[in-house]
Amino acid sequence: MIIDVHSHLFDDNPRSRTFGYFGEPEGPVSLDTFARHALAEPVDFMILSADPDLCKTPEGLADANARIAELVRRHPRRFAGLCQVSPFFVDQSLAEMDRHVANGNLIGIGELCQYILNYETDDPRMNVFIERAIELDVPVLEHSSTAEQSDGIARLAERFPRARFIMAHLGGMHNWPHGLEVARAHDNVWVDTSGFVMLCLGAMRRALAEIGPTKILFGVDFPLIEAAPLVAALKSLDLSPADFDQIAWRNASELFHLPPPDGGA
């Protein structure tokens, strides 16, 4: 059983031709076309968030979250979804959380991509979303690829000790040692492996040594990255069955309150 905690629905994006939809014409793809490609990836379950580029307007934010919710409705046994929010549309974002998380089928917020929407990771306007996530008992997936972004997550973790933060990309391709320091110092910060190809094995081994398997979640970043090399890297680590399960699905199941796979305890 492998749960990918970090991938994206890229469908109505003119840049879709640069993603992993092999054999498709240039330009946007339908929900069904996206699902066909995503379901062929070698993982059992994907947790998806919307393309943050679509969330730069109130209309785009609402439409992006609605598409995630619709995809989950169509494939509930294979997909779950996260709700995007924006510090530039606070009231609407709170309404989105109520619509899709409190009263819908999405199970967290994120991926919060401050570098695309142009705000600081711990912008005070984000506080209200973290508080609502605590009330709803759902995790927050935060992008991190720089030391400042990882430090912003650290400040949020200290400000909101009851919140559960997932730091994407182990903190970043060139920042992962510092990302691991942040995760080690904060009980409420986990890391995911998404987007990590070139340094995956070395970073994963160090992550296992420094923060242990209970703080690491498997993530891909599909369709930007394909799952096969990351799955192969995880399997090549020669983990015990218990540690493999911890990273591959158990941590995600516990954080997102997902049912265990058939036969899982």
Packing angle of the helix pair 176-185, 147-159 (nearest 10 deg): 10
Predicted pLDDT at 24: 79
Assess if residue 264 is contained within a domain.
no
Residue 68 near residue 50, CB atoms below 8 Å: yes
CATH number, domain of 165, equals 3.20.20.140
Assess if residue 262 is contained within a domain.
no
Predicted pLDDT at 7: 97
Token code pair at residue 132: 């609502």
Domain that holds residue 179: 3-256
Predicted pLDDT at 263: 43
Closest of 190, 186, 101 to residue 142, by C-alpha: 190
Query: How confident is the model over 172-197, as a mean pLDDT?
Result: 92
Residue 170 near residue 203, CB atoms below 8 Å: yes
Assess if residue 199 is contained within a domain.
yes
What percent of the chain has a predicted confidence (pLDDT) above 90? Answer: 82
Packing angle of the helix pair 58-74, 31-39 (nearest 10 deg): 50
Assess if residue 151 is contained within a domain.
yes
Predicted pLDDT at 17: 55
Would residue 226 be called left, alpha or beta, if left means φ above 0 and alpha means ψ between -120 and 50 degrees?
A: beta
Give the total number of structural domains in the chain: 1
Assess if residue 139 is contained within a domain.
yes
Q: CA distances (Å), 121 to each of 20, 31, 41, 111, 142, in order?
A: 29, 30, 31, 12, 8
Assess if residue 265 is contained within a domain.
no
Sheet holding 216-217, edge to edge: 109-112, 140-142, 165-167, 189-192, 216-217
Assess if residue 227 is contained within a domain.
yes
Predicted pLDDT at 198: 52
pLDDT digit string, tens, across residues 230-256: 999 999 998 999 999 999 999 999 999
Question: What is the pLDDT confidence band of residue 143, given thresholds at 50, 70 and 90?
Answer: very high
